[in-house]
Structure 1
């Protein structure tokens, strides 16, 4: 290594680490090293739905404020890059066949509006002012939520949904983008500010007088380099807990395995201009009597006959003539130790397709001859209440940007900007204390965790 010193060393070149480097560079820091064992953005950042939303139910508005800021930054990047990141604002469409959920949806939307997510508009008759989202671009006037409870209006705008759908909630400041293009844009800009990418694995952090003094990096050839620095940032994604232990810090985080399926949806059951679609109801997978009999024979498959949780969701993917559909339906969210490559799930593709077909019956045409699926995924590294950790660690010079769960792509810009403010001593936004590790030292916060409510995870 030609330069064994750095102002800042960042562990991890996922979207969080790259965003931290980018915003530190914008604050004027030049000598920044990102240490990454593999390719940038290749561990989990490129395996998400690449979506964003400012719809964050919760006991306060801090997550909404963080996401609103991140969306502002994403839109600024889209404008200055001629929308290289392919940002749209098609929205998230939450759908239910249970009319009893309508008051709950309305109340959740009113609560979110009071916390900064935008106004609720209710459409209970077919002659309403509801307008669909454009397929491309990001109309800044699309904010808040639209609650549609008129079946005729639902079928008019979303004829592919289950005909029994009784309500949809369209979250408008939401959509998706290219996570890979966003990450590469941030990394390219950071490199122009002097950021260096070093291939290797962080295997140690040396302290002197209780403060960060150097970082030990094992190269691919097995040799170890020492980078002298006074600032170390843990942006190690699913390996964040282990990297925290190098500083003697036990982080209150755990990992969940989340898979994603994509396939070529050539029959056009879901229009290419559709928003993100989320089914809010518990689901019984549609099986034929013969299939049910076979599944009932084995203990390992009998669970496929019962009621499964809500939350199956999908979106179209790809430009132009693409027919790719992304589908996510994660039923097993118990904490696990991250293992790469991810262990296979033999039932995932079938469960995801059949679960989604309850919301979009046109997909049942694939049951007899399903197209070949592509399955990948990663790990959600999360806290108990599903909020990130952004800020200083209890070791001088140590910082963290992580526990970004399934919202790393959408939160990365605001999280990177916030971390850079912590590192440089700049003014902090009002939501900053909500994401500090030190929040867990408050007895009042610990008590609040017992009745936290909706963590807004998909």
Structure 2
């Protein structure tokens, strides 16, 4: 079994593993970093994301707001250094509701976010209120229906309020990942094709990693540090160390199609519907769906959270739609299993927010559907830091926010690993938090986890 040595071996060349390698090699100066990846880099789930970011994160302590603010700072630095190769914008996130009862809750959440560092809340309740354009911080709450129609005429006329979160938008995840990987490799990071099949320890400390190469041959890499950045396979990789991670997987799909009728303006923000959805069907369709037990659920009220955004540049007409209406934990399997109704449900669900999309019901262009697994903790916060085995670390449970969090996650992992000063939010993401009885008690009333 051929041997080699390394300072650090990272399992997984998804966005988290690549960002960790970047911060270790480029920012911290480590010379011998190896990433082990059995597929192509950035190809399992990192290239199937919404590619969006936001500093709008509910929570009791503001840790996620601080974490995301730092990650956005790092994204903005990369955009500036690379002549915006990563195509970063600040279009914002627009949360909308047709239920007046939710307005106070939106305002309270925005006030809390402002106190935690997300930026000031501006309330616009008069039809003639000035509404700031361009990149902003904080959030704008619009409660005047005429003002909403003036600025967002494509929304449902039933919309009662919108909250425009401003330090938010999207980017090219693939370009971000490739930038980080290229910079890391330029500073000596090696990418090894293969599968991590074992982590050897002695005296409770990491000694090295066994890798099965594509030709079946085994290679041993002697290294004192191992980083589990295996994305949806983190639980299985942790088991190689005899560890059980408190995480579970959900399958999230997304659909895109050519929205050639221009219902959604190309300059629109990310659009999120906060209300439960009853899919619009014709009487004939309802009768047919009701006949079969396997389709009857399509007549029920479905969860809130359908969202989407325009995608592409220039003459692109692509619209991305995401709707996670099944949230049961699953064991990740690849390729992901088909969902025959997904495109129709996503389109019809989004049409509740954007009635103009109903023009596509009978003549929708061919959709493209992909997706991936969100590996998450119960409170939807990441796991970043040391594991109980000396020399073993984890950067994971990045749920659906891996792209937006990757830069700060990689930086935090590198700080843990090199003994550098840690930011104030670091304790909130340690695996050891679950050993704290006070934290366990807080989890019982955690509330909104910020998932989309």
TM-score (norm 2): 0.99
Aligned mate of 1:223, from 217, 231, 244? 217
Q: Aligned partners of 1:61 and 1:330: how far apart in 2?
A: 26
Determine the structure 2 residue equivalent to 1:334.
328
Matches within 5 A, 1:308-457: 308-457=302-451
Determine the structure 2 residue equivalent to 1:8.
8
Determine the structure 1 residue equivalent to 2:114.
113
Determine the structure 2 residue equivalent to 1:256.
250
Q: Aligned partners of 1:296 and 1:371: how far apart in 2?
A: 26
Q: Aligned partners of 1:129 and 1:411: how far apart in 2?
A: 33
1:24 matched to 2:36? The reply is no
Gaps of 5+ in 1: 134-138
Aligned residues: 451
1:266 matched to 2:267? The reply is no
Counterpart contact for 2:3–2:219, Cα < 8 Å:
no
- Offset at residue 131 of structure 1 (A): 2.2
Q: Deviations over 1:342-397 (max 9, x none)?
A: 00000100000000001000000001111100000000000010000000000000
Q: Aligned partners of 1:3 and 1:413: how far apart in 2?
A: 31
- Offset at residue 30 of structure 1 (A): 1.3
Counterpart contact for 1:260–1:327, Cα < 8 Å:
yes
Counterpart contact for 1:36–1:200, Cα < 8 Å:
yes
Q: Aligned partners of 1:275 and 1:349: how far apart in 2?
A: 21
Determine the structure 2 residue equivalent to 1:151.
145
Q: Deviations over 1:391-442 (max 9, x none)?
A: 0000000000000000000000000000000000000001000000000000
Determine the structure 1 residue equivalent to 2:131.
130
Q: Aligned partners of 1:174 and 1:307: how far apart in 2?
A: 29
1:288 matched to 2:282? The reply is yes
1:167 matched to 2:168? The reply is no
Counterpart contact for 2:374–2:398, Cα < 8 Å:
yes
- Offset at residue 209 of structure 1 (A): 1.3
Determine the structure 1 residue equivalent to 2:205.
211
Determine the structure 2 residue equivalent to 1:94.
95
- Offset at residue 210 of structure 1 (A): 1.0
Q: Aligned partners of 1:368 and 1:454: how far apart in 2?
A: 36
Tell me the SS of whatever aligns to 1:4. strand
Q: Aligned partners of 1:369 and 1:322: how far apart in 2?
A: 19
- Offset at residue 3 of structure 1 (A): 6.7
Tell me the SS of whatever aligns to 1:300. coil
Q: Aligned partners of 1:46 and 1:184: how far apart in 2?
A: 11
Q: Deviations over 1:318-346 (max 9, x none)?
A: 11100110000011111000000000000
Determine the structure 2 residue equivalent to 1:103.
104
Q: Aligned partners of 2:311 and 2:210: how far apart in 1?
A: 40
Aligned mate of 2:227, from 226, 230, 233? 233
Counterpart contact for 2:3–2:222, Cα < 8 Å:
no
Gaps of 5+ in 2: none
The verdict on how the C-alpha distance between 1:84 and 1:248 changes in structure 2, with shifts beyond 3 A counting, is same
- Offset at residue 2 of structure 1 (A): 8.1
Q: Aligned partners of 1:314 and 1:101: how far apart in 2?
A: 21
Runs ≥4 residues deviating over 2 A:
none
- Offset at residue 308 of structure 1 (A): 0.8
Tell me the SS of whatever aligns to 2:86. coil
Q: Deviations over 1:161-182 (max 9, x none)?
A: 0011110000000000000000
Tell me the SS of whatever aligns to 1:418. helix
TM-score (norm 1): 0.98
Q: Aligned partners of 1:366 and 1:166: how far apart in 2?
A: 25
Counterpart contact for 2:142–2:162, Cα < 8 Å:
yes
Counterpart contact for 1:132–1:157, Cα < 8 Å:
no
Tell me the SS of whatever aligns to 1:216. strand
Determine the structure 2 residue equivalent to 1:136.
none
Q: Aligned partners of 1:39 and 1:3: how far apart in 2?
A: 23
- Offset at residue 249 of structure 1 (A): 1.0
1:275 matched to 2:290? The reply is no
Determine the structure 1 residue equivalent to 2:78.
77
